[in-house]
């Protein structure tokens, strides 16, 4: 027997060395991406909507409870995470950005690592893994929204981790991996309900393809793991069931569309916007070809095919789930990107291997990477004028003209940057259109637009900040205040005319 083993040993050692060398190349490419992405996250990354997540985390750090003490229509796990790190490292938007960027980088690495370990064509393994990493990381929605204080980064990582653990759990007899997969699926949903559709898909797939251990045991373990990240929601429900129900469910069912009265046309525009996006077209078409190739033309093992089918089910379920939100937005669909990318790599291989040959992986991967880089560059150019520095200049001016203990009416970015606590009911600008009976509005910490106008015109606020010209005219701010300054399409009013 030793005579048969000895000749194979050098080839085995060489194969392992080549595999390690290829993996180092993959890590090198992704490390370069990670460095650029981290720099971007703490310099230029910004979207207006993240400011209310930052403000909520700031309020939590000060001891105020979401739902109970202020309106926060989100599952709170990501906000608590941000609050904890800002308490340790400082009240600065760069702190949540850095951790969100690390989560996003982790999701990119998990996606590329899956392709490297599971793609069955050796000559394509490294190129396919690099393509998967870059197609995920350079996706415009992932790059722009992944490093923000919103929950996209942590959801991407948790979904990718839940996927990787689930495909391992089917071959393990114990319940630990099933519980861990449920935990990460729960982390994603506990950070944003936009990712909630992934948990049932992962559970059903794991039970259907289970090859070791008892299904009932894994079902209970997965369910227990999913529940753990919702502990903050359960605690808040115990303290205020009515407020928790309103923030987590009722607000989204009835009140989100108030700021978008033409919700249906808006949603149709979003759901068809992929036609105008080069990245979305390339990724979607390659994913479709990849799924067809895996199902109909490949001779891959059935267990491996099932893992690619899971990617398709996750992408489909998440797309339907976020697509039915009213209103929906293009950035919601970034949660599907890792799973579409895995399918797209199979599609790229299926096309390129027939056109160029099975051993020609460099040029197809290079072409796709360049297309994604160009798409990202175009998107960044269109967003070049807005970042946190604009609001920091405005916040500095607000601080300059407003005594520290005087009341300020502003938007969430200014409250956060000046570290001023909003008056009760002013924590979330969007809620002013919600019209509830007075007692219920007080319980939910909601103030209507009419009440905001009344308070402004009564002279309650020492300083008023607004970027809405219609609001400025409607409130008569130029007549109410002695001084004002215009900055970056916004205005700051101070000096009440008694």
- pLDDT, tens digit, 9 for 90 and up, residues 415-470: 999 999 999 999 988 888 888 899 999 999 999 999 999 999 999 999 999 999 99
What does the pLDDT read at residue 18?
64
Q: What is the pTM of this model?
A: 0.93
> How much is the average pLDDT of 487-497?
91
DSSP assignment of 127-171, as one string?
Answer: HHHHHHHHHHHT-HHHHHHTTSSSTHHHHHHHHHHHHHHHHHHTT
For residue 119, which phi and psi values (nearest 5 degrees)? -70, 125
Distance CA 304, CA 169 (A): 14
Mean pLDDT of the chain: 90
Residue 183 has pLDDT above 90, yes or no: yes
What does the pLDDT read at residue 484?
92
311 — pLDDT class (breaks 50, 70, 90)? very high
3 — pLDDT class (breaks 50, 70, 90)? very low
Listed in sequence order, the residues at least 6 apart from 203 whose beta carbon sits closer than 8 Å to its beta carbon are 182, 185, 219, 222, 223
Which of residues 364 and 344 earns the better pLDDT score? 344
What does the pLDDT read at residue 358?
72
What does the pLDDT read at residue 466?
94
- What single DSSP character describes residue 173? S
Kindly state the tokens that stand for 9: 């040993």
Half-sphere exposure of 121 (CA within 13 A, CB side): 20
Residue 17 has pLDDT above 80, yes or no: no
Biggest CA-to-CA distance, the chain: 101
Residue 117 has pLDDT above 90, yes or no: yes
Helix (H, G, I), strand (E, B) or coil at 289: helix
Residue 483 has pLDDT above 70, yes or no: yes
């Amino acid at each position: 027997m030793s005579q048969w083993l000895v000749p194979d040993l050098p080839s085995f050692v060489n194969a392992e060395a080549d595999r390690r060398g290829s993996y180092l190349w993959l890590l090198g490419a992704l490390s370069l991406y990670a460095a650029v992405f981290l720099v971007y996250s703490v310099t230029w990354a910004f979207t207006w909507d993240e400011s209310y997540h930052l403000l909520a985390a700031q309020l939590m750090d000060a001891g105020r409870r979401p739902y109970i003490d202020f309106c926060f229509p989100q599952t709170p796990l990501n906000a608590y995470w941000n609050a904890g790190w800002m308490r340790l490292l400082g009240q600065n938007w760069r702190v949540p950005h850095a951790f969100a960027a690390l989560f996003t980088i982790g999701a990119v690495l998990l996606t590329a690592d899956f392709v490297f370990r599971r793609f069955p064509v050796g000559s394509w393994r490294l190129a396919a893994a690099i393509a998967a990493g870059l197609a995920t990381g350079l996706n415009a929605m992932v790059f722009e929204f992944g490093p923000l204080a919103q929950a996209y980064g942590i959801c991407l990582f948790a979904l990718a981790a839940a996927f990787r653990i689930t495909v391992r759990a089917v071959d393990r007899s114990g319940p630990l991996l099933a519980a861990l997969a449920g935990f990460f699926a729960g982390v994603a949903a506990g950070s944003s309900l936009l990712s909630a559709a992934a948990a049932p898909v992962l559970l059903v797939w794991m039970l259907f393809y289970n090859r070791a251990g008892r299904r009932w045991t894994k079902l209970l373990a997965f369910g227990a793991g999913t529940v753990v990240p919702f502990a903050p929601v359960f605690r808040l429900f115990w303290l205020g069931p009515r407020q928790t129900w309103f923030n987590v469910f009722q607000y989204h069912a009835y009140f989100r569309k108030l700021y978008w009265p033409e919700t249906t046309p808006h949603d149709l525009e979003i759901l068809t916007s992929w036609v105008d996006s080069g990245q979305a077209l390339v990724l979607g078409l390659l994913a479709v070809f990849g799924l067809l190739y895996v199902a109909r033309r490949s001779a891959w093992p059935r267990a491996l095919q099932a893992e690619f089918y899971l990617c398709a089910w996750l992408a489909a379920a998440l797309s339907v789930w976020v697509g039915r939100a009213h209103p929906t937005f293009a950035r919601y669909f970034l949660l599907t990107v890792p799973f579409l990318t895995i399918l797209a790599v199979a599609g790229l291989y299926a096309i390129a291997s027939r056109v160029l040959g099975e051993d020609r992986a460099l040029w197809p991967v290079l072409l796709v990477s360049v297309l994604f880089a160009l798409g990202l560059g175009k998107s960044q150019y269109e967003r070049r004028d807005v970042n946190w520095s604009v609001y920091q200049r405005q916040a500095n001016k607000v601080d300059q003209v407003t005594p520290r203990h005087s009341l300020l009416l502003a938007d969430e970015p200014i409250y956060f940057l000046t570290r001023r606590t909003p008056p009760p009911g002013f924590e979330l600008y969007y809620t002013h259109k919600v019209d509830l009976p007075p007692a219920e509005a007080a319980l939910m910490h909601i103030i209507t637009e009419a009440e905001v106008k009344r308070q402004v015109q009564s002279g309650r606020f020492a300083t008023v900040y607004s970027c809405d010209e219609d609001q400025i005219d409607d409130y008569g701010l130029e007549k109410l205040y002695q001084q004002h300054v215009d900055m970056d399409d916004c205005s700051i009013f101070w000096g009440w005319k008694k």
